[in-house]
Amino acid sequence: MHPIVRKRIIEVEKRVSPFYNGMNVIVTGTSSQKMFMLSCLKSVRSLGWTLLVYDNPVSDHLTRFPSPECFKYIDQFFMKHNTSVVPGPTYPQFWNYKHAIDILRGSSSEYVFTIGADSIIERPEGIIKIMELLGDNDLIACSTGRHGDTAYCGTKSFLVKKTAFIKIMKHLEKNYYYPFRDIGNMEYRFGLTVKELGIKEVIAPEQPKEDQFAHSYNEEGDCTENGTWGKVLGFRHLGGEHKIRRIKKLKPIEEKYFDKKCMRHQERDTIAEYWKTGDKKFIEAWWKT
């Protein structure tokens, strides 16, 4: 075999092999998260084989699909049925996880890391510390038990053994699939399932101040108090920050995290113009949108 051909085959094998050995990454996304999706995918790419589970946008697929650049940073793309028929995020998140874990059954990888497509990890190398915290246990989440005795497991991001994830989804589907409005959100259902099954859960040493990872800022306008996930992984919920920063009249998220091709006119006419000119009147205009 020609040395160049052999080298290319080895490079491909190294990229594909994480599906079978190492960690699988599940990114859950919708068209509303496109603006930050590329940054999310880039941030988790080094962790392992990446699956993007995406909600069917129903109409105008060409403009509502992830940008073409996103597909360079994923190994598999799965579009589930439209789940916007049920209000709120609980119903779509259930199907995100159900389809994702069904796909990953074919992998011999032991661990799964999950994250929403409008979030990023600025320090992916921190996953080593998170793995150490998990130890021989089954699950560690970005936020756990922040609501007293109420069952709660933050599903914005977590690291879990694949075998435990399969058990959780089986139990959740059997016992808490319906109804979606009366029982509680996915965090409650997920946490309740973890307790009922006796899943070995590790509580992160530091918990975030609030569940959206977007409300607390220092004097410089930087997001703070995001617990262990924030300190170790540099976890940020950009979708939440973008909304709260405007409401609180703070500086926008850093330019590098926006996929400019996916910006809405609200951002193109304000934030993007600020980047071009440096004129703060455009930031003030954004605050009013």
Q: What is the pLDDT of residues 46-56, one digit of tens each?
A: 998 999 999 99
Asked if 285 and 144 sit in the same domain, the reply is: no
Domain limit, last residue, from 185, 202, 219: 202
What is the number of structural domains in the chain? 2
- 126 pLDDT band, cuts 50/70/90, is very high
258 part of a folded domain: no
Domain limit, last residue, from 202, 217, 243: 202
Residue 221 carries which side chain, given as an amino acid letter? G
Tokens of 240: 């939440």
Angle at 82 between CA 80 and CA 85, to 5 degrees: 145
pLDDT at 167 over 70: yes
- Of 15-24, 96-105, 106-115, 247-256, the poorest mean pLDDT is in 15-24
**What pLDDT does residue 19 have?**
46
Q: CATH number for the domain including 33?
A: 3.90.550.10
- Of 3-7, 45-49, 97-101, the poorest mean pLDDT is in 3-7
Domain limit, last residue, from 167, 182, 202: 202
161 part of a folded domain: yes
Residue that the structure tokens 């990454």 belong to: 25
Q: Which residue has the higher pLDDT, 117 or 3?
A: 117
207-234 residue pLDDT tens: 999 989 999 999 999 999 999 999 999 9
**What pLDDT does residue 107 have?**
85
Q: In terms of residue numbers, what domain contains 102?
A: 3-202
Asked if 58 and 172 sit in the same domain, the reply is: yes
